[in-house]
Chains A and B, each alone.
Chain A
Amino acid sequence: MIVQALLIFCIAAFGYLNSFFASSNIGRPLVVSTLVGLALNDLRTGIIAGATLELVWLGAFPIGASNPPDYTSGAILGTAYVILTGADVASAVLLAVPVATLTALLSNFMMMFVVPIIGHRADRYADKGDCNGVDMMHYLAIVVQIIPQAGIVALAFYFGQPVIESVIASIPQWLNSGLNYATGIIPAIGFAMIARMIMNKQLACFLFLGFLLCAYLNMPIIGLAGIGSCIVAFLYFNEKRNNTVVMDGGVQDDNEF
């Protein structure tokens, strides 16, 4: 059992390192469930469970600031449960979905608290011009995330389904929804920081233009960029023409009156 738990730890770490290995989808159910099947000596069931769970989470992938349920842990534990108990493949889904929600809570906590704090350390290294420091913070952010996440999956595997269910039931609702609200607001800090860098009085109206187009017309970002480019082209050619007029006439028309 200990050996199997260690194998599960390695599979989970491998799956969570998906974004380390070129976001190549190695954390998806089809891949990790197959590996679990290999580790627990039932490859065929692993692949079939992988296919079932892949379908469940087909639409789940991170876009922008929205984070999907943690399908990596869900797929690993769901598949292990099916193989060890000999239950129906469909019951993998029953266990996998709550597990994925639970571990997503942990990874959300990491990305909300721990990694931003590491990011602020990276800011301090940047202030000193220390390239190695920035690199180290990147590696640190990997280690502090992968080890607890993979560890929890291995522990959950070791203690089994009843323990998982009681842990899920004991998480207070306020913690869950409080963190949920926070994840919706935190991106505003990042936007405000970048706006502080590039915005000035002259340009502030364009932030509002983008906002209004999106708020009232639901315009996608690509459309906003297109309109922005048109405005830039207009300003650019206007300025070019003005410059030509200046050159042709040889008069500086700073004073219009």
Chain B
Amino acid sequence: MKKYSRITAIVLVLSIAASMLVFGAASAQDSGRICFAFQDVSTEFWVASHMAIIGTLEDQGFEVVQLNGGQDANRQLEQIRDCIAQGVDGIILIAQDGESGTTIISEAQEADVPIATFNRPPADTSAGIVVVADNRSVARQAVEFMAQKAIGRFEATGERINPLILVGDLADPNAVQRRAGFMDVIEKYPDIFNEPVEIATEWNSDVALASLEAAVTANPDIDFIFTSSDFLFPTIRSVLEAHDMWIPAGQQGHVILGGLDGDATACQLIKDGYVDATGVQDLYYEAELTLDGILTAIEQGDTQPNAVLQDPGFALTAGNIDFQEMDSWGCVLLADGFLDQ
């Protein structure tokens, strides 16, 4: 009997703890209810976006229903359906991929709930408020800066450059556009570059590590690497260090290195001389566009707002970091001690 009393006591304590957590957190606010569904919070970009969006909405008095899809498109779809069924006023979505984004937007619009996608566009951009960086242009700007350094090296040594690109998940239109921007520049200088090596990362650092290790082992003369997202710089560093190729600019054997996102790590590495350029998506501007779009739609009673809002972005390079540093969200976070936390 004593045993059962103990079990019952444990059950009660846990139930009370759960209830406190649940009802303590679920405090209704005045302005309305917004559902914020994201696919994960695993990179600096997503962490900073998450903080910016949640913080702004809560400051404005909205109750935010936060839903982490855990990189599972079906789970994200079910979460959005839950939100719709519970009568939220609007939805902000970071979809798992372009196709599932399209399906989810169509569900929301069919239920007359305004929806905006942040940074990761659906495959069909004609529906919903789509906030996205001009990925192709941003990638092109960053790779162009890298290409100019490559041309200088080619002119000095006469040896063609061997480029490599870490491609994202091609089901994500951002990854497709970034690859296209990279290819635009490589194809622009056919006399300088050899055929690029393409590494599929699926936006997964483990996959990237294994594939990059194999590629660098097979092609030790790789001297130009572009990553489709800055979150892979630590992965690149670990592979290049193992091959004695992690060398800052200005020294013999430096691998010309670039990326896209403009996160705090990239900013630090540009300052340290290891990275030459990164395409910057203006995270705060994109968050502002998303929030303005969805809140205006709610205010005006527009249940099916459709618009593509573009962040032009820019390239943060070793050449302009001294005067454009504070235009980059990653450098702002770096200055705030983000990497020390």
Q: Answer yes or no: do A and B interact.
A: no
B positions within 8 Å CB-CB of A: none
